[in-house]
């Protein structure tokens, strides 16, 4: 089976670097399943889990937006933050989720609302990733 290198990079560090067989991500235009030798592509990502398959194993990474760069033999995902399922702190994510929900319920100005929405998405993303 052909493979390619998958890297997930955040401003703080390189979160993930493995050879894999397949990657599935959620781009702004919809879900993408990427196999080796894909045509070079760049697209922004939604806040969603990224699934990476390698040698029958499956890694799930919570990726907070960012974008993906696909090359024939290499994939790079750049995001402001990203966590492996094992690194996710469930309690923190739960707390963040509740905080965001409270703020959404309070409905203040637009900026706050937008920020709370994003925070909620991030928290949900982490929880989803953990549960998979």
Partner 1 sequence: MAKGMRDIKREIKSKQNTKQITKAMEMVAASRLRKAQEAAQAARPYAEKLKEVVASIASGTKDVKHPMLETRPVKKTGYLVITSDRGLAGGYNANILRKVTQTIREKHKSSDDYVLFVIGRKGRDYFRRRNMPIVEEVTGLPDAPTFADIKSVAYSAVKKFSEGAYDELYLYYNEFVNAITQVPTALRLLPLEEVGGKASVTSYEYEPSPEGVLEVLLPKYAETLIYSAVLDGKASEFGARMTAMGSATKNASKIINQLTLTYNRARQAAITQEISEIVAGANAQS
Give contact residues for partner 1 (rule: CB under 8 A): 9-14, 27-29, 39-44, 66-67, 69, 71, 76, 78, 80-81
- In the complex with partner 1, which residue's Cβ is closer, 105 or 111? 111
For residue 95, what is the DSSP state? H
CA distance 54 to 18: 8
Nearest to partner 1 of 6, 56 (CB atom): 6
Pick the closer one to partner 1 by CB: 73 or 94. 73
| Minimum CB–partner distance for residue 39 and partner 1 (Å) | 6
Nearest approach, Cβ of residue 56 and partner 1 (Å): 29
The tokens of 114 are what?
Answer: 């937008």
SS3 state of residue 46:
coil
Question: 37 — alpha (psi -120 to 50), left (phi > 0) or beta?
Answer: left
Output the furthest CA–CA distance in the chain (Å, rounded): 53
Q: Report the nearest approach of partner 1 to the CB of residue 13 (Å).
A: 5
Separate counts of helices (H) and strands (E) for the chain: 2, 10
Nearer to partner 1, 14 or 57 (CB): 14
What does the alpha-carbon distance between residue 132 and residue 129 come to, in Å, rounded to a whole number?
A: 5
CB of 17 to partner 1, least distance (A): 10
């Amino acid at each position: 089976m052909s493979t390619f290198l998958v890297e997930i990079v955040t401003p703080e560090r390189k979160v993930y670097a493995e050879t894999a067989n397949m990657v599935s991500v959620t781009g702004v235009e919809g879900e993408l399943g990427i196999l080796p030798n894909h045509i070079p592509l760049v697209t922004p990502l939604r806040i969603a889990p990224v699934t990476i398959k390698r040698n029958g194993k499956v890694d799930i990474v919570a990726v907070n937006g960012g974008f993906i760069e696909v090359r024939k033999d290499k994939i790079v995902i750049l995001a402001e933050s990203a966590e492996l399922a094992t690194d996710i702190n469930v309690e923190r994510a739960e707390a963040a989720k509740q905080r965001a929900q409270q703020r959404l319920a309070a409905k203040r100005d637009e900026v706050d609302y937008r920020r709370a929405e994003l925070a909620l998405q991030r928290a949900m993303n982490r929880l989803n990733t953990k549960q998979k």
